[in-house]
Amino acid sequence: MTTRYTWGALDRNTSAEAAIHLSHQARDRLGLTSYPIDVARDVSIAELLATTSEVFNVKGFGAVGDGAADDGIAFNQARALIATNGGTVLVPPGDYLLTTAFTFGGQDNVVLWLMPGVVLTGEALPSATGNNYIQDWRAGAVGVFSADVTVADGFGLVIGHTAQLSLGNLTAEFQMLGTGAADATLAVGRWSADTGGTSIRFYKSRNTTIGSNTAITTGDNIGKITAFADDGTDDDTVSSEILFDTEGTISTGQVPGVIKFQVAAAGTLADALTIDSTRNVSTAGVLLQATITTLDDTGTPTVSAGNLFKTGGTTAITDFDDGLVGQTIKILGAHSITITDGAAIDLSGGSDYTMTATDTLTLTMYNNQVWVEEGRSVNGG
């Protein structure tokens, strides 16, 4: 007897009773009542199949699943009854010999659904093409989609674990969980013969309908990257955060942005560095350069390493190479050395400065390759 199921709308809500009911509903309609109950799996199958107009269980077309009979004919008969608007060929647990190869038969919008416990021998399955795809839920199998995959609002996707976890006071809908570096690493790659790169994008709207538009308000948070860590008690302790906020007048084509870097010294986040929409940078602490770089003992030492330097020898200096417009450098005399006033270095008074040990000189580059003295201290003698 041919078994044909028309998949209607499935009622759902967040209660445990409804989830169990939906699990039974999925199993009953798909002819899987003898298969052990797994609520999370059955509900996810039911939700995904709810987007498909028809479901055909190959057992209803004569498939035996004993590893001896040719079940390929039943697979193709189930597929042949799928209408043009699409449907699913459901393969429940069993050992299926495909002496006759399964094909998509030139049809479109066909899903071949292989459940856990399915073993296939004989002819290989075809490659998914067009709007046809194979959903493989067998242990160790790699499921390949050749169509868009949609997870309904209010549901999630978990990789590497059996259920979603609450991390940082929130149960995120998309989670990657694991015990190794690769398990907990997200990689985004792009292969293209152009200047474009990869991107991660945040979006915020004040509209409550997905896909509709309502302007945000000054001070709204657009997105954030937050780091939590285990403090030995729970997983809700915050360590640091990068915030993407807004300020000023928001109008068509204009959303002034603010980036805030925050750290938590004792469990509470506080601003450490802020970049506003006018590109001003403010800090709540002291900007420190980790090391003082020793200049090369040449007439034109490089200053690309930072802002704080000390002399490296007694060779008179006529220029500082590799400087940038807007860069300020401060030099500590560790030797008796002459800084030469000239085209590349504009010293106060228009004369050379002979530094001795512990003297300092501060210069800023305002024009390309021209250093202007900001100040000096004569401490040696």
Residues 6+ away with beta carbon under 8 Å from 283: 272, 273, 274
Q: Pick from 55, 50, 62: which is nearest to 82 by CA?
A: 55
Q: What pLDDT is recorded for position 371? A: 96
Distance (Å, whole) CA 316 – CA 300: 9
Distance (Å, whole) CA 83 – CA 4: 12
Distance (Å, whole) CA 310 – CA 331: 5
Distance (Å, whole) CA 141 – CA 3: 27
Q: What pLDDT is recorded for position 152? A: 76
Paired tokens of 60: 């209803």
Q: What pLDDT is recorded for position 305? A: 83
Q: At what angle do helices 16-30 and 39-49 cross, to 10 degrees?
A: 70
Query: Are 331 and 310 in contact, with CB atoms under 8 Å apart?
Result: yes
C-alpha angle 73-34-151 in degrees, rounded to nearest 5: 80
Q: What pLDDT is recorded for position 39? A: 52
Per-residue pLDDT tens for 40-88? 555 555 555 555 557 888 998 999 999 999 999 999 998 988 876 678 8
Q: What pLDDT is recorded for position 8? A: 39
Q: What pLDDT is recorded for position 139? A: 64
Q: What is the DSSP string of 50-90?
A: TTSSEEEEGGGGT---EEEEE-HHHHHHHHHT--TT-EEEE
Query: Are 46 and 22 in contact, with CB atoms under 8 Å apart?
Result: yes
Q: Which residues of the chain have pLDDT under 70?
A: 1-53, 84-85, 139-149, 380-381
3 state SS of 96: strand
Give, in order, the Cα–Cα distances in Å from 37 to each of 172, 199, 200, 326, 331. Answer: 26, 41, 39, 68, 74
Q: What pLDDT is recorded for position 113? A: 86
3 state SS of 322: coil
Q: What pLDDT is recorded for position 368? A: 75
Q: What pLDDT is recorded for position 53? A: 55
User: Is this model's pTM higher than 0.75 or not?
Assistant: no
Residues 6+ away with beta carbon under 8 Å from 239: 227, 228, 229, 263, 264
Q: What pLDDT is recorded for position 142? A: 56
